Amino acid sequence: MTNKIYEKLMKKCIALAKKGVGKVEPNPYVGAIIYDEKKQKILSCGYHEKYGEAHAEVNAIKNLKKICKNKTLIVNLEPCSHWGKTPPCSDLIIKSEFKKVIVGMIDPNPLVKKNGINQLKKAGIEVIEGILENECKKLNKIFIKNMVHKKPYIMLKTATTLDGKIATPIYNSKWITNELSRNQVQKLRSKHCAIMTGSGTILHDNPNLNVRIKNKKNPTRIIFDPNNKIHIDPDKINVFKNNGVRIILINNSKIKTPDYIEKIEYNDFNSLFLKLYQMGIYSIMIEAGSGLNSALIKANEVDEINQFIAPKIFGCGLDFIKNFDIKNVDECVKLKDISTKRFGDNVLINAIIEKD
């Protein structure tokens, strides 16, 4: 078989894996296909459907209901080799007598990393690695960040004019972007564990930070207020209303807060995000003003940017970042893996921030 066939099948695995978004976290998104190379036919498919339940490989084998002997298994992530909430997939693959396993990427989890592949090879199964590796890593970028750094994946979203303004000088910002862009923002919110904003945004905009899509869960709200600018009044501040959504306040004040608000003190971003990860926050969408945006980028904590740009020019107003004090071009923040998408007359630029 040629790699082109495996790439085509891996694309199908990735599409299957995406069905688990919002249902399997903090586990990775995984799809699996059982393929008959002699007949050049897909025999079965499966994906990780729900956290704590069967993995993709198990579902694909179960869906086949036939002998897997001498067949090929395609999976976008290295099969697990350890006991978690479910048994090791590598054991089942060996027991099922697969002839070949095609793997998209190595599992970054130290408990698995290369162990699953080595176990398959020792059992005499041919393993081909790295098929559409970049696409597979992009799919599980949150899981990779979690496993490697034990911190949440940070995505910064902003909506600006063509000249990079997020509001007029009097803080008016409704609406810079069009309805299509705002609907896309709702979809982005629904894909993250939490939304984080700063005290300035709360005081000027009083946002709800909810998801206005039917049957989608509202993310945890994280309010960054280390300088104690917000006085807790759930009746006046939308994000503090007790409506069943988890609320985390980063605040150094000793004032008493309602019991339903979780409060942690701020020392630095590194310790903050390590703490949030320990609290079960695996991905965060930043929707804030220039102060928090700038501080996070300067601290090298932002992984990805989604910038919605509207065909408008203010010529004055609030920038989405500020005070970087860059004098030479080579000192700039560099972006990679750029993609663009149109939403009517708006343009979305998506990019990954390059890190040392």
Residue with tokens 């290295």: 78
Whether residue 207 contacts residue 167, with contact meaning beta carbons closer than 8 Å, is answered with no
Q: Do domains 3-143 and 150-353 have the same CATH topology?
A: no
Nearest Cα residue to 164 out of 349, 314, 329 = 314
Stated length of the chain: 356
Give the pLDDT score at 1: 59
Please give the pLDDT value at position 325: 84
Note the pLDDT of residue 216: 85
**pLDDT tens track, the chain, 356 positions:** 568 899 999 999 999 999 998 889 999 999 999 999 999 999 999 999 999 888 999 999 988 877 888 999 999 999 987 656 667 888 899 999 899 999 999 999 888 888 899 999 999 999 999 999 999 999 999 999 999 999 999 999 999 999 999 999 998 888 999 999 999 999 999 999 999 999 999 988 888 999 988 888 899 999 999 999 888 777 789 999 888 899 999 998 887 888 899 999 999 999 999 999 999 999 999 999 999 999 999 999 999 999 999 999 999 999 999 988 888 998 899 999 999 999 999 999 999 999 87
Q: Within 13 A of 180's CA, how many CA atoms are on the CB side?
A: 11
**pLDDT of amino acid 85:** 64
Q: How far is CA 183 from CA 161, 165, 281, 339, in A?
A: 18, 20, 24, 19
**What pLDDT was estimated at residue 148?**
94
Catalytic residue among 25, 57, 287, 301: 57
What is the dotted CATH code of the domain comprising 150-353?
3.40.430.10
Phi, psi of 149 (to 5 degrees): -115, -10
Q: Tell me which residue has tokens 């939308």.
A: 238
- Residue 265: C-alpha distances to residues 92, 247, 252, 262, 346 (Å): 46, 14, 5, 10, 38
Cα–Cα dist 55/49, whole Å: 8
Residues 6+ apart with CB under 8 A from 291: 198, 200, 322
Write the CA distances from 50 to 19, 29, 76, 93, 282, integer angstroms. 10, 10, 17, 20, 16
3-143 CATH: 3.40.140.10
pLDDT at 166: 95
What integer pLDDT is reported at residue 84 of this predicted model?
64
In this structure, are residues 280 and 146 in contact, taking their beta carbons and an 8 Å threshold?
no
Q: Are 85 and 114 in contact (CB under 8 A)?
A: no
Domain boundaries, the chain: 3-143, 150-353
Cβ proximity of 6 and 42 under 8 Å = no
Cα four-point dihedral sign 166, 168, 173, 174 = negative
Amino acid identity of residue 18, one-letter, is K
> Would residue 53 show up in a list of annotated catalytic residues for this protein?
no
Run of H or E including 149: helix 141-149
